[in-house]
């Protein structure tokens, strides 16, 4: 990911202020963004039909929570493919041991697999309830793991592989422009402008969408890491 030491320091400070010092090394956040297509593609059209009854491209984004700078992405899968699978196309997911600094991790929502380096909320079982500590953990996680929705619809028709590549390049250009704006506003001390706009768009998107959760392996390293962070948070907040 293209994040220098100064940006990592800002991300750590952002997370610590909103949660606690123990959580400060969660400097990245992963999210899936469905890029709606104007019409049904002629090329394998049904595979682009997502669970919200739209034709779309699945776009995976890994951002820094303090300014929403995109540090990694996965793009090219049709909308019917689950976030947990398409996330594996990102460089960070494939090479997290080499990329992530020691004892750092990625925040994600319940659509992503729980790993020691990728931490998601506690899931409420059907008919069940979360414990108070679990609810507190989820509430604080939501302070740093933002839903990022920027592209509402792509007005391109996909009739061939060439058209699909053009659509992918189009989205890539939008991601580059987004990062340019983040960079320029950061230099002018206006990081809050991008942050406020993107979070507003994300909240509007979230009101209309629910995550498809993935199952967890009981007693996995990811669960143990999440439980440890929950206990650390409660310890700090009880002082």
Flag whether 105 is in a domain: yes
Flag whether 239 is in a domain: no
Q: Which range of residues forms the domain containing residue 136?
A: 5-233
Model confidence, pTM: 0.82
Tens of pLDDT, residue by residue over 7-60, are: 899 999 999 999 999 999 999 999 888 899 989 999 899 999 999 899 999 999
User: In total, how many domains does the chain have?
Assistant: 1
Q: What is the mean pLDDT of residues 201-208?
A: 45
Flag whether 164 is in a domain: yes
Flag whether 173 is in a domain: yes
Flag whether 125 is in a domain: yes
Distance (Å, whole) CA 9 – CA 7: 5
Helices (H), the chain: 5-18, 83-86, 91-94, 96-99, 132-141, 161-187, 191-206, 221-237
pLDDT of residue 133: 92
Tens of pLDDT, residue by residue over 109-161, are: 888 989 999 999 998 877 778 999 999 999 999 888 765 555 667 888 899 99
Is the separation of the CB atoms in 233 and 132 below 8 Å? Answer: no
**Nearest alpha carbon to residue 39 among 148, 199, 156:** 156
As a whole number, the mean pLDDT across the chain is 84
On the question of pLDDT at 78 being above 80, the answer is: yes
Flag whether 87 is in a domain: yes
């Amino acid at each position: 990911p293209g994040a220098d030491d100064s940006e990592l320091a800002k991300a750590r400070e952002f997370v610590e202020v909103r949660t606690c010092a123990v959580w400060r090394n969660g400097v990245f956040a992963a999210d899936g963004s469905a890029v709606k297509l104007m019409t049904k593609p002629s090329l394998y059209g049904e595979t682009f039909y997502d669970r919200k009854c739209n034709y779309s491209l699945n776009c995976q984004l890994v951002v820094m929570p303090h300014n929403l700078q995109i540090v990694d992405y996965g793009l090219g899968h049709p909308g019917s493919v689950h976030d947990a699978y398409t996330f594996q196309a990102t460089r960070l997911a494939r090479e997290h041991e080499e990329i992530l600094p020691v004892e750092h991790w990625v925040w994600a929502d319940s659509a992503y697999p729980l790993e020691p380096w990728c931490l998601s909320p506690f899931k409420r079982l059907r008919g069940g309830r979360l414990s108070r500590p679990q609810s507190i953990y989820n509430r604080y996680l939501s302070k740093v793991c933002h839903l990022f929705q920027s592209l509402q619809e792509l007005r391109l028709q996909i009739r061939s592989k060439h058209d699909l590549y053009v659509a992918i390049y189009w989205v890539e250009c939008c991601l580059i422009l987004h990062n340019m704006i983040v960079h320029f506003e950061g230099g002018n001390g206006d990081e809050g402008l991008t942050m406020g706009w993107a979070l507003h768009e994300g909240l509007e998107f979230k009101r209309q969408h629910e995550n498809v959760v993935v199952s967890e392996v009981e007693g996995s390293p990811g669960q143990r890491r999440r439980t440890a962070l929950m206990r650390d948070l409660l310890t700090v907040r009880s002082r």
